[in-house]
């Protein structure tokens, strides 16, 4: 058995952050019942271009493997009754909506504790359910701007940049998954559920980590660095070689000592200007141009071979295609292949979360569901008969055919 096969989560999720978080739980065996509002066409992720067709998209497939989908409008009386029946059987209600919406939809613990005293109500919102921005919509790009990330990304003197991936969304999904599991553990231990008020804003600000600590404690002013250099460890950045780019990371002094040998410049290790991290940081305007000149004299492959042999942290700067076919990607079983009626065979990325011995911790995976594909099955498991299901459909609670 997978470790979360006894966990049931009713999810009102959409787009990226929420579905990303629950997909990790699904891969670990949790039953994710994805509630999609038929009045708006379900999860908006189903229509994200460029690869979108017939109520499905490759974006949607990227975030919703191993889940079930039901159509349900919980704002209707019939839909609300179904939702509460689901809550009675569930460990958690999970959502990623605007901060004021959980109250409007009555999906907080205060609203559901009479239905199930042990229910965990986990809300991942843009800004949380309190604070002056709680009613604002929050998206990754917005949070990277507000959270200070864009001021740190890009070349000095250039325009602020977002990260290439939606990392606030994805980190927020991880935060939600961790919080939800902790709350379920507490509810099973104590018999009482709770709310989890999580936000992408909190996620973005908390991930400022040591630059934030340095600033608040010592007055450090974070700034963008040349070629993505570490703010204080030198050398630790991207370097241009004769035919491409690579990253070299001397995170310990021993790596610097080894690098000077690989470069055939052992005298640099003895130069008092470059002896320690602090020395090199004080003299970065001297050492960085010198290193850049040296690295341009050989190809990426010619640099990597001796650095690998010397166990110096380094890597070629791959494009996405290169990363996906790297032998380590394949050996670690990070690519999932599922069949899909619209797109044929879909290849997506599996979760980095793993439980089990190496090589034996991957269970079979299912593609993301068609909208409402599991509605009838889930309702019948709740004890609904043909007549009641037909009545719900006629009333618009499940969406009309």
Question: H/E/C letters for each residue in the chain?
Answer: CCCCCCCEEEEECCCCHHHHHHHHHHHCCCEEEEEECHHHCCCHHHHCCCCEECCEEHHHHHHCCCCEEEECCCCCHHHHHHHHHHHHHCCEEEECCCCCHHHHHCCCHHHHCCCCCCCEEEEEECCCCCCCCCCCCCCHHHHHHHCCCHHHCCCCCCCCCCCCCCHHHHHHHHHHHHHHHHHHHHHHHHCCCEEEEEEHHHHHHHCCHHHHHHHHHHCCCCCCCHHHCCCCCCCEEEEECCCCEEEEECCCHHHHHHHHHHCCCCHHHHCHHHCCHHHHHHCHHHHHHHHHHHHCCCCHHHHHHHHHHCCCCEEECCCHHHHHCCHHHHHCCCEEEEEECCCEEEEEECCCCCCCCCCCCCCCCCCCCCCCCCHHHHHHHCCCCHHHHHHHHHCCCCCCC
- From 169, 197, 202, 374, the catalytic residue: 169
From CA 18, how far away is CA 199, in angstroms rounded? 11
Name the strands in the sheet holding 236-240, side by side, starting at the edge strand that comes first in the sequence: 236-240, 245-249, 314-316
From CA 177, how far away is CA 268, in angstroms rounded? 48
Buried b (16+ CB within 10 A) or exposed e, 238-265: ebebeeeebbbebeeeebbbbbbebbee
From CA 166, how far away is CA 144, in angstroms rounded? 9
From CA 81, how far away is CA 75, in angstroms rounded? 10
Say how many C-beta atoms besides its own lie within 10 A of residue 4's C-beta: 21
Q: In angstroms, how far is CA 38 from the centroid of its own chain?
A: 26
**Is 169 one of the annotated active-site residues of the chain?**
yes
Active site residues: 169
């Amino acid at each position: 058995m997978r470790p979360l096969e006894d966990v049931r989560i009713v999810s009102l999720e959409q787009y990226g952050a929420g579905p990303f978080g629950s997909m990790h739980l699904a891969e670990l065996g949790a039953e994710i019942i994805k509630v999609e509002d038929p009045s708006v066409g379900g999860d908006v992720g189903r229509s994200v271009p460029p690869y979108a067709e017939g109520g499905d998209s490759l974006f949607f497939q990227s975030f919703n493997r191993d889940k079930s989908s039901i159509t349900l409008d919980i704002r209707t009386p019939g839909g609300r009754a179904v939702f509460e029946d689901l809550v009675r059987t569930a460990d958690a209600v999970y959502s990623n909506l605007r901060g004021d919406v959980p109250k409007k939809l009555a999906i907080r613990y205060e609203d559901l504790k009479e239905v199930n005293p042990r229910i965990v109500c986990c809300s991942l919102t843009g800004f949380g359910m309190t604070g002056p921005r709680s009613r604002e919509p929050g998206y990754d790009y917005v949070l990277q701007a507000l959270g200070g990330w864009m001021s740190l990304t890009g070349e000095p003197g250039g325009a602020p940049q977002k990260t290439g991936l939606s990392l606030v969304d994805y980190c927020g999904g991880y935060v939600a998954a961790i919080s939800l599991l902790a709350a379920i553990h507490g509810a099973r231990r104590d018999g009482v559920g709770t709310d989890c008020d999580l936000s992408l804003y909190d996620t973005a600000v908390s991930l400022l980590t040591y630059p934030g600590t340095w600033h608040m404690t010592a007055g450090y002013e974070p700034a963008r660095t040349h070629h993505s250099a570490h703010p204080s460890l030198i050398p630790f950045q991207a370097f241009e070689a004769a035919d491409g780019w690579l990253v070299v990371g001397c995170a310990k002094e021993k790596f610097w000592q080894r690098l000077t040998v690989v470069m055939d410049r052992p005298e640099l290790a003895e130069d008092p200007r470059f002896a320690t991290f602090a020395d090199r940081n004080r003299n970065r305007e001297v050492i960085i141009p010198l290193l850049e000149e040296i690295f341009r004299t050989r190809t990426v492959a010619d640099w990597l071979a001796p650095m690998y042999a010397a166990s110096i942290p380094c890597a070629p700067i791959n494009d996405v295609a290169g990363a996906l076919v790297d032998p380590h990607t394949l050996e670690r079983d990070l690519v999932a292949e599922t069949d899909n009626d619209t797109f044929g065979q879909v290849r997506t990325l599996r979760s980095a979360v793993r439980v089990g011995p190496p090589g034996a911790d991957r269970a079979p995976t299912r593609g993301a569901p068609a909208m409402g594909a599991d509605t009838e099955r889930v309702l019948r498991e709740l004890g609904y008969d043909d007549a009641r299901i037909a009545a719900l459909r006629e009333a618009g609670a499940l969406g009309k055919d």
